[in-house]
Amino acid sequence: MARMQRLLRNLFAGWFQLRAHFSEALLEEIAQAIAAGERTHRGEVRLAVESRLAPGAVLGGLTAHARAEQVFAQLGVWDTEHNSGVLIYLLLAEHRIEIVADRGIARRVAQGEWDAIGARMREHFGQGRWREGCLEGIAAVHGLLARHFPSDGEGRLDELPDRPVLL
């Protein structure tokens, strides 16, 4: 039954949801927030938003978390000098937020901390506050990275693009 509900949600979600919630101006604001926050630590943050999963993927049992791990690899978030990349993945059709951290940061940050960030974002999104949810979530991720991977004061290399990815 749960798989059928997931299938229906994914069938009726579409590209229009991405543009309805993520305007060009918001995408630029998010990119600026990611760039500014990355100056406070040695980590890299990416935000990826996907409107829905393909029906075959849902029927095949692909979960939002497994898809987030695929996107993490696809976007090369794992490929940072300090193994400190973090992906914030949003699956609109299923109202899912997954935060995937590379091994360098995953050893230092408990899963519960990532889950709390996702829960707070979900609260904002549930009330239609997409901008606030994204910016607060990004700020919270930056806070964890600054605590566990503080800037070493040297000029840092921006290893990954800051602009959100719409899938």
Q: How many domains in the chain?
A: 1
* Predicted local confidence at residue 103, as pLDDT: 93
DSSP string over 82-135: TS-EEEEEEEGGGTEEEEEE-HHHHTTS-HHHHHHHHHHHHHHHHTT-HHHHHH
Strand pairing class (85-91; 96-101): antiparallel
- CATH number of the CATH domain containing 7: 3.10.310.50
Name 45's bridge partners: 86
Mean pLDDT, rounded, for 54-83:
94
Cβ burial, residue 70 (10 Å; 0-12/13-18/19+): middle
Cβ-in-10-Å burial (0-12, 13-18, 19+) of 158 comes to: exposed
| 94-151 per-position pLDDT tens digit | 999 999 999 989 999 999 999 999 999 999 999 999 999 999 999 999 999 999 988 8
The pLDDT tens digits for 4-59 are: 888 888 877 766 677 789 999 999 999 999 999 999 999 999 999 999 999 999 99
**Is the predicted pLDDT of residue 2 greater than 90, yes or no?**
no
Provide the β-strand partners of residue 165.
Answer: 48
Rounded Cα gap, residues 135 and 48, in angstroms: 14
**Beta-carbon contacts of residue 143 (< 8 Å; ≥ 6 apart):** none
Range of the domain at 115: 2-151+158-166
